[in-house]
Chain A
């Protein structure tokens, strides 16, 4: 049964720099990179190429020895110019010097009716050998889905409520057919349902208007209503022993294209957002693009932070960094590494805050906020109570979970709901935390404790 769920808890932040619905022409970056660090749980990465090799888009270039059947493919065609490693030879980036014209590795093409007659095994085999499989994320733990598992359901959040989120109606325009094909493939992967959760407060996006064969649920409310974790919690929560998979709409499109067109196509419209961007909008590029190139000559000021993703869950990669695999957005905001005289006390309507303590008058300001990366305070012990609960539309007790993780209390961590959470689900708690703790890091620590236990 499709459900309509209205969430009350949460907090929307209104930032300056939303992407306008225009696509800018840009010179494609020279280099692209696949970053194993974009995926959780890769423990023994093995390279299938070496520096100097030529690859096509879709050529397998890496796999994880722990899950050998799943390969990671090159996002573009060109020459592998660098395999960058960090401390203890940790694999950080595989850089590819891109061809002017991207060539694709040829995989089998399927018509819609072919897809209908595919078996699960065939679908799994094709996806994992072609590289599109890595779009599937497993819950709990947020790792790449294991083809050997059979998930109880697959969840797709059809909307994004993060700050400055891209307009999916614009970003995915014209991909209706691929999207439907992707859903048809996903349906084969589970014995349960495929849930497509759409924004219940707005109009149904064009891409979803003719979707068939899946459960369409409506969610409305402030952020994090668009988070798939929150949606799963309300539809079919994950308990110990359960496995569910999730996929982003972009991932579904990529899977669909892989079958329909027989190519591993990582091209996407990436939203260029943030208050430091002169002309916001979209740029067409491929996964793993060099960030600096996507915003070349389009940034104001010279002291900015370049974030792959959004300001809640993204990663600061710098101009020389690369777009994350799951990211469809770049955010550029000013760095805030300056002292401010009595900055903790001055009354202001310009500083964004969930709280209303003395002088924080942002609730009176309905305009868009320009924020920088300053922490607005130092790290402290947990003092404030009840605040996390106000922004957490799930029946979990975040503070107790964090404390259990800090105490390495395995039983308690499990009992308090670690299986239901990933970093993005508590990012808002981290944002509003007056004690400035790194809650996403703490949660990941807990997830890894349980995953490896």
Chain B
């Protein structure tokens, strides 16, 4: 790889102090460090050797864990398309290609726009390019419907990166989950493109008789609002077996690109937990909180038939699994203390089900629950830290 090093070396003088592109040094350095681990050594005092792990590797591990969701999502976009248009003999390749055609442009826009914003800020502030956007750039497309207009993706990305991250100082400083902020932005700014019958890409084709692109959560919200029997409504779905527990677990249902399948999310969770990059405490407690709240609703009962949906169904519908595994575990916006992580995750689960079941205006709850708890995470940590300080103070004599 000497030639690449030479190429970088040859343009280096232009970026160094006094060179014509001096202010773009951070871009030069950022790109060089993608190809080459830098030649930095430890200082004279302090540790003399360092762990081989770094933030780049950590972030790329999350991207890797997201791959199953991306691939399954591409297939599901195609699968839903052919299901809705009544093409029974579509092959797995056909489905995947249709999906790729819809998903890859969103991915390209997300990374292209997001990285441009990041680079601009790095140059303006002259701070090094950080790796946070590697993950955010992948998360944003996965929580979008396949039918989202690309300009909206771009706008949401700009909003999320600037308002969600850069104003706070960049990677590691943000309060809210950046990718969720992108989705929340669209949710409030352009609601008609991100809720309702938007989950299935139909293209020019005609949908089959009785088609509805609604998610099971929409059925639930409708049932809760009208007092109708949700379980019956879901059972009589135009596509037989669509909302069976197993089908929902596998994820061949309408929804955002990457979040429909609990199964592949768990595969991602296995990677995150196995590598220690994601907090298993948060993942487990989100599922636990949602299940507990579901059980509580089952016990309370009442005339809301959504409340009567078996508690374990909550774990496989909507984006709960995706949110629990990839969004709630964002180490920066989640609780930082180990005890705090249990509380934080549990409350996300509880609030998710609460929003789903009793708030008819928001069929999906996980996104708002995580953003809500992002805001409260510092408070949870505050109490955990206070408890630690108190323990120390109790044994003090002065």
Can you pick out 26 interface pairs between chain A and chain B where the beta carbons lie within 8 Å of each other?
A242-B397, A307-B48, A311-B47, A314-B48, A316-B44, A337-B39, A339-B36, A341-B35, A342-B37, A343-B36, A353-B53, A355-B58, A356-B275, A357-B53, A357-B58, A372-B49, A374-B41, A376-B50, A377-B38, A377-B50, A378-B128, A381-B172, A385-B331, A396-B388, A397-B388, A439-B46
Q: Are A339 and B56 in contact (CB under 8 A)?
A: no
Chain A residues near B341: list those with CB within 8 A.
386
Q: Which of B101-109, B190-198, B332-340 lies at the binding interface?
A: B332-340
Contact indicator A380/B172 (Cβ below 8 Å) = yes
* B276: chain A residues within 8 A (beta carbon): 355-357, 387
| Residue pair B55, A383 in contact (C-beta under 8 Å) | yes
- Asked if A378 and B38 make an inter-chain contact with CB atoms under 8 angstroms apart, the answer reads yes
The one of A314, A351, A380 in contact with B52, judged by C-beta atoms closer than 8 angstroms, is A351
Docked-complex contact A337 and B41, CB < 8 angstroms: yes
User: How far is B128's CA from A423's CA once the two chains are assembled, in angstroms?
Assistant: 28
CB pair B338 A374 closer than 8 Å: no
Cα distance, A351 to B49, chains bound together (Å): 11
Judge if A39 is at the interface, Cβ distance under 8 Å.
no
Q: Which residue of B lies closest to A359 (CB)?
A: B57
**Residue A399, interface by CB 8 Å:** yes
- Mask, B374-398, CB within 8 Å of A = 1, is 0000000000010011011101111
Q: Which chain B residues have a beta carbon within 8 Å of chain A's beta carbons? A: 1, 4-5, 33, 35-58, 60-61, 64, 128, 130-132, 169-173, 274-277, 279, 331-332, 334, 336-338, 341, 385, 388-389, 391-393, 395-398
B93 to A: closest C-beta gap in Å: 28
* Chain B residue with Cβ nearest A344: B56
A48 within 8 A of partner (CB): no
CB of B37 within 8 A of CB of A376, answer yes
When distances are taken between beta carbons in the complex, the residues of chain B under 8 Å from A399 are 336
**A431 cross-chain contacts in B, Cβ below 8 A:** 47, 49-51
CB distance from B391 to the nearest CB of A (A): 7
In this assembly, does A416 line the interface, its C-beta being within 8 Å of a C-beta of chain B?
A: yes
Q: Are the CB atoms of B171 and A438 closer together than 8 Å?
A: no
Contact across chains for A345 and B57 when beta carbons are under 8 A apart? yes
Q: List residues of A whose CB falls within 8 A of some B CB.
A: 237, 239-242, 305, 307, 311-316, 331, 333, 335-345, 348, 351-360, 362, 371-378, 380-387, 389, 395-397, 399-400, 415-417, 423, 427, 430-436, 438-441
Which residue on chain B has the smallest CB distance to residue A314? B48
**Residue in B1, B47, B54 whose CB lies within 8 Å of A430:** B47
Q: What chain B residues lie within 8 Å of A357 (beta carbons)?
A: 53, 57-58, 60-61, 275-277
Interface centre among A354, A381, A387 (most CB of B within 10 A): A381
Whether A358 pairs with B57 at a CB distance below 8 angstroms is: yes
Given contacts A374-B41, A434-B58, contact A239 B396 (CB under 8 A): yes
Q: In the complex, which residues of chain B have a beta carbon less than 8 angstroms from the beta carbon of A341?
A: 1, 4, 35-36
Q: Which 4 A-B pairs have the closest CB atoms?
A: A377-B54, A343-B37, A381-B172, A241-B398
Please, how many angstroms separate the alpha-carbon atoms of A340 and B55 in the complex? Answer: 16
> What is the CA–CA distance of A333 and B49 in the complex, to the nearest angstrom?
9
Contacts of A305 in B (CB 8 A): 41, 48
A239-B395, A357-B276, A378-B33 known; A316-B45 Cβ under 8 A: yes
Which residues on the A side are within 8 Å of B128 (C-beta)? 378, 380
The docked-state distance in angstroms from the alpha carbon of A337 to that of B38 is: 8
Q: Which residues of chain B come closer than 8 Å to A377, judged between CB atoms?
A: 37-38, 50, 53-57
Distance (whole angstroms) from the CB of B253 to the closest CB of chain A: 30
> Which single residue of chain B is at the shortest CB-CB distance from A440?
B46
In the complex, the answer to whether B52 meets A360 with C-beta atoms within 8 Å is yes
- CB contacts (< 8 Å) of B395 on chain A: these are 237, 239
A356-B272 Cα distance, complex, nearest whole Å: 10
Besides A427-B47, A431-B51, 20 new A-B residue pairs in contact (Cβ under 8 A), listed by A number: A239-B392, A241-B398, A315-B45, A316-B44, A316-B48, A333-B49, A339-B37, A351-B52, A358-B64, A360-B52, A376-B52, A378-B54, A383-B331, A384-B58, A387-B276, A395-B388, A400-B385, A434-B57, A435-B55, A438-B43
| C-alpha spacing A96/B110, complex, angstroms | 66
A374-B39 in contact given A396-B388, A434-B53, A434-B54 (Cβ < 8 Å) = yes
B contact residues around A415 at 8 Å (CB): 389, 392-393
- Using Cβ atoms and an 8 Å threshold, which residues of chain B touch A344? 33, 37, 54, 56-57
Is there an interface contact between B337 and A397, defined as CB atoms closer than 8 Å?
yes
**A160 → B minimal CB distance (Å):** 16
B280 → chain A closest CB, angstroms: 10
Could you tell me the distance between the alpha carbons of A423 and B47 in the complex, rounded to whole angstroms?
10
Quick one: which of B38, B50, B170 has the most chain A CB within 10 A? B50
The docked-state distance in angstroms from the alpha carbon of A391 to that of B66 is 28
Q: Is there contact, CB below 8 Å, between B171 and A380? A: yes
* Residue of A240, A339, A417, A430 contacting most chain B CB atoms (<10 Å): A339
**B51: which of A336, A342, A378, A434 is its contact (CB, 8 Å)?**
A434
User: What distance in Å separates the Cβ of B31 from its nearest Cβ neighbour in chain A?
Assistant: 13
Determine if A375 and B41 form an interchain contact, defined as CB atoms under 8 angstroms apart.
yes
Report the bound CA distance from A65 to B328 in whole Å: 56
Chain A residues in 8 Å Cβ range of B60:
345, 357-358
B173 A417 Cβ-Cβ under 8 A: no
On chain B, the residues within 8 Å of A433 by CB distance are 51
| Contact partners of A381 in chain B: CB under 8 A | 130, 169-173
Closest chain A residue, CB of each to CB of B29: A378
Determine the chain A residues whose CB is within 8 A of the CB of B36 once the complex forms: 339-343
In the complex, the answer to whether B55 meets A434 with C-beta atoms within 8 Å is: yes
Complex interface: chain A residues within 8 A of B388 (CB):
395-397, 416-417
Of chain B, the residue at the smallest CB distance from A384 is: B331
Q: Cβ of B47: which chain A residues have Cβ within 8 Å of it?
A: 311-313, 427, 430-431, 440
> Which B residues are in CB contact (< 8 Å) with A343?
36-37
A373 and B42 form a contact (CB under 8 A): yes
A376 near B392 with CB under 8 A, answer no
Q: CA–CA, A442 to B392, complex, Å?
A: 21
Evaluate contact between A440 and B45: CB separation under 8 angstroms: yes
Quote the shortest CB–CB distance from A144 to chain B (angstroms). Answer: 18
CB-CB nearest in chain B for A353: B52
Q: Which residues of B contact A362 (CB under 8 A)?
A: 52
CB atoms of A386 and B41 under 8 A apart:
no
A45 to B373, CA, bound (A): 54
The reply to whether A354 and B53 form a contact with Cβ atoms under 8 Å apart is yes
Q: Inside 8 A of B169's CB, which chain A residues have their CB?
A: 381
- In Å, the complex CA distance between A333 and B50 comes to 13
The interface residues of chain B lying within 8 Å CB-to-CB of A316 are 42-45, 48
Per the bound structure, the CA–CA distance linking A439 and B43 in Å amounts to 12
- In whole Å, how far is B109's beta carbon from the nearest beta carbon of chain A? 25
Q: What residues of A have a CB within 8 angstroms of the CB of B51 in the complex?
A: 352-355, 376, 431-434
Knowing A357-B53, A430-B47 are in contact, say whether A383-B58 is a contact too (CB < 8 A).
yes
| B-side contacts of A439, CB under 8 Å | 46
Closest to A317 in B: B44
Chain A nearest Cβ from B53, distance in angstroms: 4
> CB-CB < 8 A to B385: which residues of A?
397, 400, 416
When distances are taken between beta carbons in the complex, the residues of chain A under 8 Å from B5 are 339
